[in-house]
Structure 1
Amino acid sequence: MSEITPPENTDAQSGSERVFAFFRRKVLSGELRTGDRLPAERDLATQLNVGRPLLRESMRSLAMLGLVDIRHGSGAFVGKADISVLTDFFTFSLAQEQNVSEDIMQARMAIECQAIRLACERATESDLDRIGGCLTALIKTLSDPEKGGMADFRFHAAIVQASHSQALVTLYKAISELLMQNHVERRRVTHKTPKVIDDLVESHRQVFLSIVEGDGDAADRRLREHFAIGDELRRKSIIAAFSRGGMAE
């Protein structure tokens, strides 16, 4: 696991690092907002003590992340970060770690348990309709691991969306590729066991009802029970599959 360290002293930073640090500092402080025009290239290069070719290269890198919008003939403007870039980063980075599935599950629990509490307070009728629709889709796709896994993911993603917390939604989207993969893999293991499927449906139904009821404590408890049940059902399904002679089918 990588060590968490504070930003390096700017005196020791390279030219490109100074450009990124400047941009990060201005955005975090609120001095620069989406749509704001950045200083002219000559002025910015002088301010940061970097060459203009290096500044252009750094700005192109920021543009690839969606953080800068370079308009030829007009200048450079603050853009809005592309979440898909962050998703790709997390996917590639975490996929190289050991026990990534367990790690992702822990992150998912942390995000969803807070999100469901907020959803109980903030969910609109539209949010409830969306979550209910995802539950219906989940029930209709129980026999299909691929579609069922994706329906399961969308159900939980809709809960996070209903939290109306941009930070939680962004973090959830950042690990969405790994979450979708995890949902599908779990469904492949469990979809042929009727008892598992019945419990899966009831567990999701109880989670949904807790949001409708608007009881944050009950919602948090039911969601944690849902995670625990899901893990136990997955274990039982694996044992049952091997008891039948393996999982080759």
Structure 2
Amino acid sequence: MNLQSASEGQQSGSVRIVAWFKERLVRGELRIGDRVLPERELAQELSVGRPLLREVLKSLAMLGLLDIRPGSGTFIARADIRLLTDFFTFCMSQEQDVLEDVMQARIAIECQAIRLACERANESDLARIGQWLGALIETLDDPEAGGRADFMFHQSIVAASHSRSLTTLYGALSELLQQSHVERRRVTYQHRKVVGDLIAAHRQVFLSIVAKKPDEADQRLREHFAIGDELRRRSLIEAYRKGPETAQH
């Protein structure tokens, strides 16, 4: 066997191993805490060599998907969302205009999440959202702290949806979203009238959740996003009036 065919065979074996785990997790045949087949049996079932299997298992363990316990075996682990966040941020950061693209994903997630939050939010959820609303107001002149408070306000709404899928997707975007909030806050600080509009919009969003009115909450959230879009449009126009070089920074 030449080097190329050996490499292709190894890749095929790796894909087969990963697919084996994925299929059984999706079908519910493997759950968190379950012990995986012993290495020898799993290698025979998948028709792969034990050295290759061992390397793939180590890779899956590094991703937080498996827990390898020497002397006890290999177990299905609960994946750490922070690893997904790191991976997603690394991949997306290579794209142009990534923050604008992430913003569109954010709108889709939050608009569904806020509807669920109106139905599912408990007192603890509402207290947390209200807490970050207060922090957001107190940090108007601090782009870093204000950007984080703004992010946490919206993240708390998504958490109040009690939807694991939505919170996982939002968590994967978290680093890019926080960066977006800080940059938007720097722009907002230069337009004091808009600051008042944004604070009022956040209050209306919060009150709509408290009132358990999903249609109203959705509308208020979209109006809030529209204020930000208009602000970015104005800033871009002003930048181009000063010169194309300014607009690019």
Same fold (TM over 0.5): yes
Q: Does 1:184 align with 2:182?
A: yes
* Deviation sequence 1:35-63 (CA, Å, 0-9, x none): 00000110000000000010000000000
Contact 1:193 1:237 in 2 (8 A): no
* Cα contact 2:129–2:206 (8 A) shared by 1: yes
**Partners in 1 of 2:175 and 2:11 — Cα distance?**
33
Query: How far 1:135 sits from its partner (Å)?
Result: 0.2
Structure 1 gaps, min length 5: 1-10
Q: Distance in 2 between matches of 1:86 and 1:128?
A: 27
Q: Is the Cα–Cα contact under 8 Å of residues 38 and 77 in structure 1 kept in the other structure? A: yes
TM-fit CA distance, 1:128: 0.3
Name the structure 1 match of 2:128.
130
Residue 99 of structure 2: aligned partner: 101
Aligned to 2:70: 72
| 1:98-142 CA-partner distances (Å, limit 9, x unpaired) | 221221011000000000000000000000000000000000000
Residue of structure 2 aligned with 1:157, choices 151, 155, 158: 155
1:40 aligns with 2:35: no
Which shows bigger deviation, 134-143 or 79-88? 79-88
**Alignment partner, residue 111 of structure 1:** 109
Identity of aligned residues (%): 66
More displaced stretch, 204-213 vs 185-194: 185-194
Alpha-carbon deviations, 1:121-172, whole Å to 9, x = none? 0000000000000000000000000000010000000000000000000000
Q: 2:140 aligns with which of 139, 142, 166?
A: 142
* Structure 2 CA distance for aligned equivalents of residues 189 and 235 of structure 1: 11
**Is the 8 Å Cα contact of residues 68 and 78 (structure 1) preserved in structure 2?**
yes
Distance in 2 (alpha carbons) for counterparts of 1:44 and 1:244:
65
Q: Calculate the TM-score normalised by the size of structure 2.
A: 0.90
Residue 174 of structure 1 corresponds to 172
Aligned counterpart, 2:4: none
Deviations 1:4-39 (A, max 9, x none): xxxxxxx99711111100000111100000000000
Displacement of 1:236 in angstroms is 3.0
Q: Which moved more, 1:237-246 or 1:193-202?
A: 237-246
Distance in 2 (alpha carbons) for counterparts of 1:181 and 1:194 = 21
Q: Is the 8 A contact 2:10 2:52 kept in 1?
A: no
Rounded Cα–Cα distance in structure 1 between residues aligned with 2:196 and 2:66 = 49
Q: Provide TM-score, normalisation by structure 1.
A: 0.90
Q: Helix, strand or coil: the match of 2:141?
A: coil
C-alpha deviation, 1:240, in angstroms: 5.8
